[in-house]
Amino acid sequence: MSKFKVEIATGSDGSVSFDVPLRISKRGYRKLVQITSPDSAERPWDAQPTAMQRALGRAERWRRMLDSGEATSINEIAVRENTDFSYVARLLNLTVLAPPLAAAILDDTLPSGTTINDLAINPPLLWSEQVSRLELNRGPLRN
């Protein structure tokens, strides 16, 4: 059963209109449609992003800059972002993470104590080895 109330009205001309309690808010570069019912469940993506999520987003943005030709090198990105070359290079390694690890970052289900350095410094080439190494060092992914 639905947790919010949808009001349906019919016009004299046979038209039907729906009144659904929604709110549209900006979330980064996209718009998010939220149900405004007080009973609606809290969703993890409605909260502020974690440091790990921001780092993954930053790394994806930098990868897209390199792919599109907007930036020609890691040095150029570092100068634009006013940061160190090694930081940019380390974060770019997050773009080759195994899908379960990327999903765990976005869902905030990484083992507690996991840092960016655990994932970004010299990640194994095989995705299965990336997951195994993280689970060996930090424990299993949380549900």
In sequence order, the 6+-apart residues with CB closer than 8 A to the CB of 87 are 78
- Predicted confidence (pLDDT) per residue in 67-96, tens digit: 999 999 999 999 999 999 999 999 999 999
Structure confidence by residue, pLDDT tens digits, 106-133:
988 898 889 999 999 999 999 999 999 9
Q: Are 98 and 130 in contact (CB under 8 A)?
A: yes
* Among 139, 119, 138, CA closest to 130: 119
Identify the pLDDT of residue 42.
Answer: 58
Beta bridge partners of 16: 10
Rounded distance, CA 39 to CA 2, Å? 10
Confidence class for position 1, pLDDT limits 50, 70, 90:
very low
CB 126 within 8 A of CB 100: no
